[in-house]
Amino acid sequence: MSTMTATHVSATHAFGPAQIFANLSVGVLVEHALVRGEGRLASNGALACDTGERTGRSPNDKFLEDSPAIHPNIDWGKVNQPMSPENFAALESLVMATLSRRKHLYRFDGYAGADPAYRLKVSVFTEEAWHSLFAKTLFINADPKDLANWAQDWTIIDAGSLRLDDPAKYGAKGPVCIAQSLEKKTVLIVGTRYAGEIKKSIFYAMNYDLPDRKVFPMHCSCNVDRKDPSNVALFFGLSGTGKTTLSADPNRDLVGDDEHGWSAQGVFNIEGGCYAKCIKLSREGEPEIWNAIRFGSVLENTVVDPSTRVPDYDSAAKTENTRVTYPVSYIANARIPSVAGHPKNVIFLTADAFGVLPPVSKLTHEQAMYYFLNGYTSKLAGTEAGVTEPQPNFSACFGGPFMPRPPMRYAEMLRDRIASHNSNVWLLNTGWTGGPYGTGSRFKLAYTRAFVTAILDGSLAKATWVTHSIFGLSMPTAVAGVPTEVLDPRRTWKDGAAYDLKAKELAQKFRANDAKFAMSDAVRAAGPIA
Q: What is the pLDDT of residues 247-282, one digit of tens each?
A: 989 899 999 999 999 999 999 999 999 999 999 999
* Mean predicted lDDT score pLDDT of the chain: 94
pLDDT for residue 2: 31
Q: Are 187 and 313 part of one and the same domain?
A: no
- Of 137, 186, 241, 244, the active-site residue reads 244
323 a catalytic residue: yes
> Is the pLDDT reported for residue 4 higher than 60?
no
What's the CATH code of the domain at 179? 3.40.449.10
Q: How confident is the model at residue 12 (pLDDT cuts 50, 70, 90)?
A: very low
Q: Name the residue with higher pLDDT: 19 or 45.
A: 45
The whole-number pLDDT of residue 448 equals 96
- Which range marks the domain in which residue 145 is found? 2-37+58-193
Q: What is the pLDDT of residues 59-75, one digit of tens each?
A: 999 999 999 999 999 99
CA distances from 337 to 76, 115, 350 (A): 36, 8, 29
Q: Does the pLDDT value for residue 11 go beyond 70?
A: no
For the ranges 223-237, 382-396, 448-462, the lowest mean pLDDT is seen at: 382-396
Catalytic residue among 55, 58, 239, 263: 239
Q: How confident is the model at residue 239 (pLDDT cuts 50, 70, 90)?
A: confident
Q: Confirm if 342 and 266 have CB atoms less than 8 A apart.
A: yes
Confidence at 238, pLDDT banded by 50, 70, 90? confident
pLDDT digits (tens, 9 = 90+) for 106-142: 999 999 999 999 999 999 999 999 999 999 999 999 9
Are the CB atoms for 230 and 344 separated by under 8 Å? yes
pTM for this one? Answer: 0.92
Selecting among 32, 62, 136, 243, the annotated active-site residue is 243
Beta-carbon count within 10 A of 212 CB: 9
Question: Number of structural domains, the chain?
Answer: 2
Annotated catalytic residue 243: yes
Distance CA 81, CA 231 (A): 40
pLDDT of residue 438: 87
Task: Please identify which of the residues 200, 277, 344, 362 carries the catalytic annotation.
Answer: 200
Active site residue 219: yes
Residue 484 vs residue 3, higher pLDDT: 484
On whether residue 111 sits in a domain, the answer given is yes
- Do residues 173 and 306 share a domain? no
What is the pLDDT at residue 9? 41
Q: Is 155 a catalytic residue?
A: no
pLDDT at 13: 55
Looking at the structure, tell me whether residues 8 and 126 fall in a common domain: yes
**Cβ atoms of 346 and 423 closer than 8 Å:** yes
Q: How far is CA 86 from CA 62, 90, 170, 404, in A?
A: 16, 6, 8, 20
Question: Taking Cα atoms as reference points, which of 35, 39, 36 lies closest to residue 304?
Answer: 39
Q: Residue 120 pairs with which residues in a beta bridge? A: 112
Q: Which of residues 193, 208, 242 is at a domain's end?
A: 193
Q: Are residues 16 and 116 located together in one domain of the fold?
A: yes
Which of 424, 396, 413, 403 is CA-nearest to residue 516?
396
Whether residue 301 sits in one domain with residue 178:
no
3-state secondary structure of 480: coil
Q: Has residue 293 been placed in a domain? A: yes
Q: Considering the domain boundaries, does residue 124 fall inside one?
A: yes
